Structure 1
Amino acid sequence: MTEGIPADEVPEQLAASPAGTVTAAGVGVGNTDDGGGHEGVDEYDTLLAVLGRSHDDDERIAVHEAGHIVVARLLGHPLGGATVDPGPGYEGRVWGEGHVEAFTNGRGDASHVREAIAPLMPKPGEDRGSVADVFGSVYDQCVELMAGRAAERMLLEGEPGTPVDDLRQARELAMLICTSEKSIETFIAHCDVAAWDLLLPYGDVVTALCIVLRIKRTLDGAEIDKIIADLEARKAVAVEHRHRADWRKRVSSANSFQAGWAE
């Protein structure tokens, strides 16, 4: 989640505008011609003015959330949706299936998870078999939380800002399985690297999701999966075409060799 402005500082125009009224007609496009020889108002620039964002800030938020999306799906976590529009306490966020109700009821934070699970965690010397899934879940969730900054590092220039809320939630979860400040910091640092490793082969997917998010602003889980599936399908076709072209070259070379040998 990209931490953002408090709810009471969200521009009134955004809160008052009907859903879909202000959308990004084009990413990175300047003033447009309305067909009558007059320059029309760029809806994307209008949206950014309402949000109080620059183009660079909007791109950063979209890359950040796209990183969360890709790592979540790589780890097999189904998603409910994602948005790059601000809300109470965030500039953009990604949520899992069934998490909307939890957030609405004020219990979707990692601190609530830790408070609920901490009393169930085994003491030193006690069997951990019954909570092995908790250790695995904490690891996956912390890698996912670090994915936003990893995506920024991968695709944007300069060192990204500190993802305060992502780090806070990762610490809350890490406290379930770590027993010292040093172990918490080391664990989170490892998750940071693990997120980078997961994202590295999928920079094109992060980029595609970033572009679509900046245009549509909000995607549901089905839309996210379709974008990823379509892109991966096109990549598979391109790979197959390259393989066939390479095979044709090999066959041609073999035929030329045989013809030369026969002479």
Structure 2
Amino acid sequence: MSLPYFMRSAASTSENGTSSWIETEEMKNFVHEAGHAVVARLTGFPVAWVSVDAAFIRMDPLAIENECNHGSAVCLTVSSDRLNPILNRRSALNKQDKETVVGYCMHVLAGPLSERRFDPDSFDPLPSLNDYGQVAQVLASVSRSDKVLKKRLFIAARRQLKKMLCENWCLVTRVATAIKNNRTLSGDELDSLIFGAEMEKAA
């Protein structure tokens, strides 16, 4: 299978290795955010935008409202309308609730797992501690001390995410390249990249 140019470029080495290393380190951020964005959309969560433009992120009203305007790379996924009712409910989770929780965990974990898939040799989990923390917090809340349920939800999220990334890696690389070139993608631009062919047929 032919790899996109940037994948070949990042995997290759220059005479001193410096250029290739820099390209790989930069591309990690793009792939990380692309992973979040693609899996969010494939699991049914809207994405307002995805950006690696710190100035845009700092001033965006949605980023300010959600207190995520201090980062240099953000995928702003709209999940509260689906997730909060589950977190606030006292009753046991039904099938749809579990699917929502698993989908949420998948899109959060998709950042670090995409980054690791892109460059497994130098993957560092420390920058993704916030992602892991979000998943742990949600699972702890919905499982309500049920360790078996918590483990099952996590395993389901990991298993389905690995399969989704394997089957849709071309979409992740496509979106990562677009993030690299444009710095910021709106939700509509993201959907066009992911669902473009389907949207054209529907029109």
Q: TM-score surpassing 0.5? A: yes
Equivalent position SS for 1:94: strand
Query: Distance in 1 between the 2:40 and 2:88 partners?
Result: 27
Q: Please state how far the C-alpha of 1:64 moved relative to its aligned partner.
A: 0.6
Of structures 1 and 2, the larger Rg is shown by 1
Q: Normalized against structure 2, the TM-score is what?
A: 0.66
Paired position in structure 2 for 1:91? 72
Greater relative CO (CA pairs within 8 A, separation 6+): 2
Paired position in structure 2 for 1:142? 105
Paired position in structure 2 for 1:175? 140
Choose which of 152, 161, 182 in structure 1 pairs with 2:124.
161
Q: In structure 2, give the amino acid aligned to 1:158.
A: D
Choose which of 176, 185, 191 in structure 2 pairs with 1:210.
176
For residues 42-63 of structure 1, the C-alpha deviation after alignment (integer angstroms, 9 at most, x for no partner) is xxxxxxxxxxxx4333211110
Equivalent position SS for 1:81: strand
Equivalent position SS for 1:219: strand
Equivalent position SS for 1:175: helix
Quick check: 182-191 or 192-201, which moved more? 182-191
Q: In structure 2, give the amino acid aligned to 1:222.
A: D
For residues 123-155 of structure 1, the C-alpha deviation after alignment (integer angstroms, 9 at most, x for no partner) is xxxxx37x6543332111011111112212322
Query: Distance in 2 between the 1:186 and 1:160 partners?
Result: 26
Q: In structure 1, give the amino acid aligned to 2:37.
A: I
Does residue 120 of the first structure (1) align with residue 89 of the second (2)?
yes
Is the Cα–Cα contact under 8 Å of residues 81 and 219 in structure 1 kept in the other structure? yes
Equivalent position SS for 2:121: coil
Does residue 227 of the first structure (1) align with residue 193 of the second (2)?
yes
Choose which of 157, 164, 172 in structure 2 pairs with 1:191.
157
Query: Distance in 2 between the 1:160 and 1:181 partners?
Result: 29
Q: How many residues align?
A: 165
Query: Distance in 1 between the 2:167 and 2:76 partners?
Result: 23
Q: In structure 2, give the amino acid aligned to 1:121.
A: R
Percent of aligned pairs sharing the same letter: 21
For residues 28-47 of structure 1, the C-alpha deviation after alignment (integer angstroms, 9 at most, x for no partner) is 8xxxxxxxxxxxxxxxxxxx
Q: Normalized against structure 1, the TM-score is what?
A: 0.53
Is the Cα–Cα contact under 8 Å of residues 66 and 209 in structure 1 kept in the other structure? yes
Equivalent position SS for 1:73: helix
Cα root mean square deviation, aligned? 3.4
Evaluate the alpha carbon distance shift between residue 184 and residue 210 of structure 1 in structure 2; reply closer, same or farther with a 3 A threshold: same
Choose which of 46, 49, 52 in structure 2 pairs with 1:78.
46
Query: Distance in 1 between the 2:148 and 2:52 partners?
Result: 33
Higher helix proportion: 2
Q: Please state how far the C-alpha of 1:81 moved relative to its aligned partner.
A: 1.0
Is the Cα–Cα contact under 8 Å of residues 33 and 50 in structure 2 kept in the other structure? yes
Paired position in structure 2 for 1:68? 36
Query: Distance in 2 between the 1:229 and 1:119 partners?
Result: 33
Query: Distance in 1 between the 2:86 and 2:118 partners?
Result: 36
Evaluate the alpha carbon distance shift between residue 185 and residue 89 of structure 1 in structure 2; reply closer, same or farther with a 3 A threshold: farther
Query: Distance in 1 between the 2:110 and 2:46 partners?
Result: 16
Q: In structure 1, give the amino acid aligned to 2:111.
A: G
Q: Please state how far the C-alpha of 1:117 moved relative to its aligned partner.
A: 5.6
For residues 74-96 of structure 1, the C-alpha deviation after alignment (integer angstroms, 9 at most, x for no partner) is 11222211112345443312123
